[in-house]
């Protein structure tokens, strides 16, 4: 039980965790480049965040890899943009077609039946076969349905292709627990399903982070809401510090709390230091990782090492592109 980690002291009698509308999308804790364009994909959210000169400019819904064909995490560059691509079907997918009794195709020409849609935006080395692309199944976005690539609605894929250029940075992260702060200074937690059953490095730090917040901000963090949000994992922001959880509403935007990635110290970053117990405080001082924290090893090997530079990489069209 997560009560071992956060307890229910001083929080008895509260209703079930209450969050806000799903339209509020919190940002993951990824350090972005202060200059130029930087794309950040957080897999548990199935969302692609576009940053320009360090500021969030757009969020796209996407479909990412299934459990058996996971999208790898890591740092990459945009290495090619191909309009009206032909899809050269990988042998593994040809075998899937054969096993399911479908016609085995080796090449799918451009057009409405092409799973790559109107554009393929490759990131990483060509041999990885990774990219952002359109789709002939728009209803499948967002979700966890691809063979490893990042599927987008066609209009979004075309817009992205006109925005990015070779050498632009791409970061693929796997963060199931996000912490954000709104304009009123309230702390919000959003928990997503662990679709890939990966170990989440945030769990060992979560309790200490919340204890430090409670001490440094002199604000009560309601442990019951933490416990409930991590059990439910609905992907909805839950206010951890609002006095009336039933009326909790995000004030303005949800700014990233720096607790997983290093970054410039600011109002949303704080040290992980033990907090002394306050009488009646909702969080205990001695904490341990949640008993229900994922124990499975990552199901995929780490992605290839990041490129040493942002120089454009010449490559062939996506012969090994893996459609979503």
Q: Are 2 and 292 in contact (CB under 8 A)?
A: yes
- Across-strand partners of 78? 123
**Run of H or E residues at 320:** none
Bridge pairing between strands 131-133 and 150-151: parallel
What's the alpha-carbon Rg for the chain, to the nearest Å?
21
Is 133 among the residues known to form the active site?
Answer: yes
Cα separation, 199 vs 180, in Å, equals 21
Q: Are 189 and 177 in contact (CB under 8 A)?
A: yes
Rounded to 5 degrees, φ, ψ at 156 are -65, -40
Q: Are 3 and 165 in contact (CB under 8 A)?
A: no
Q: Which of 133, 195, 239, 242 is catalytic?
A: 133
Half-sphere exposure of 147 (CA within 13 A, CB side): 18
Q: Are 210 and 5 in contact (CB under 8 A)?
A: no
Is 5 among the residues known to form the active site?
Answer: no
Residue length, the chain?
324
Q: Which residue has the tokens 């490559």?
A: 315
Cα separation, 302 vs 73, in Å, equals 7
DSSP SS3 for 247? helix
Q: Are 161 and 39 in contact (CB under 8 A)?
A: no
Strands (E), 84-182: 87-88, 107-108, 119-123, 131-133, 143-146, 150-151, 169-173, 177-181
Q: Which of 5, 38, 149, 195 is catalytic?
A: 149
Within its chain, how far is the Cα of 117 from the centroid?
A: 23
Residues labelled catalytic: 133, 149
């Amino acid at each position: 039980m997560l009560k071992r980690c956060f307890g229910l002291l001083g929080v008895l009698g509260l209703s079930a965790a209450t969050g806000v509308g799903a339209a509020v999308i919190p940002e993951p804790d990824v350090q972005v480049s202060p200059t130029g364009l930087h794309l950040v994909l957080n897999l548990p959210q199935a969302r692609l965040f576009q940053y320009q000169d360090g500021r969030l400019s757009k969020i796209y819904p996407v479909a990412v890899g299934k459990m058996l064909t996971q999208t790898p995490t890591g740092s990459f560059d945009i290495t090619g943009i191909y309009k009206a691509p032909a899809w050269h079907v990988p042998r593994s997918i040809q075998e899937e077609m054969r096993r399911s009794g479908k016609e085995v195709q080796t090449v799918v020409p451009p057009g409405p039946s092409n799973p790559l849609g109107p554009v393929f935006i490759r990131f990483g080395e060509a041999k990885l076969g990774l990219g952002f692309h359109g789709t002939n199944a728009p209803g499948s976005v967002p979700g966890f349905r691809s063979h490893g690539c990042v599927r987008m609605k066609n209009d979004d894929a075309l817009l992205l292709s006109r925005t990015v250029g070779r050498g632009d940075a791409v970061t693929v992260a796997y963060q199931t627990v996000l912490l954000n702060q709104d304009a009123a200074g309230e702390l919000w937690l959003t928990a997503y399903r662990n679709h890939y059953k990966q170990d989440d490095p945030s769990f060992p730090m979560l309790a200490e982070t919340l204890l430090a917040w409670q001490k440094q901000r002199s604000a009560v963090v309601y442990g019951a809401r933490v416990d409930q949000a991590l059990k439910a994992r609905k992907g909805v922001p839950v206010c951890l510090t609002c006095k009336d959880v039933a009326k909790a509403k995000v004030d303005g935007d949800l700014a990233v709390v720096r607790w997983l990635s290093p970054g410039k110290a600011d109002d949303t970053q704080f040290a992980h230091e033990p907090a002394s117990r306050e009488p009646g405080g909702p969080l205990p001082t001695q904490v341990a990782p949640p008993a229900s924290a994922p124990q499975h090893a990552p199901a995929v090997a780490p992605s290839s090492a990041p490129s040493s530079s942002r120089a454009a990489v010449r490559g062939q069209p996506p012969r090994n592109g893996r459609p979503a």
